[in-house]
Amino acid sequence: MSRHKIEGDLASPVGRFRLIEGFFRPTGARPAAPWLLRPIKATDGWCDDPQSANYNRLLTLPSRDNCEKLWRNDGLYDLVIVLDYNLWPRRKGKGSAIFLHCARPDFAPTAGCIGLRPADLRKLLLRLAKKAVVIVG
């Protein structure tokens, strides 16, 4: 965890973050959640290039900007909730793509996100209010 998050430091930012929207891999039913959940498309990416005008934003692939692909084959992004970290306003270089998403089976660290077992993440979404916040730290 870091109170002074910077792009690429592999730390989760400390703070209170609203859960604002999400994505799911459309292999089954749309998960229940109090926010908009969009099906992930193979062309969805999240810009992590601090030099880009698209920094810390959803974009369409292919892109000239460096970005993280949302369509993954490892299951980590089968369900993704976007935290409102560094979105309004965006501060370039202060961290991007901070999500609540599925954890690796061995719970290996993320690159700054919060990972939960897929079944636990689905159960949690059923119980959260639309204005829920995640507290890190």
Q: How are strands ordered across the β-sheet holding 58-60?
A: 58-60, 44-47, 67-69
CB atoms within 10 A of CB 86: 21
Statement: residue 28 has pLDDT above 90: no
Percent of the chain with pLDDT over 70: 100
Q: Using 50, 70 and 90 to split pLDDT, how confident is the model at 36?
A: confident
Alpha carbon distances (Å) from 87 to 6, 29, 104, 112, 127: 14, 29, 26, 15, 25
Name residue, tokens 């370039």.
Answer: 92
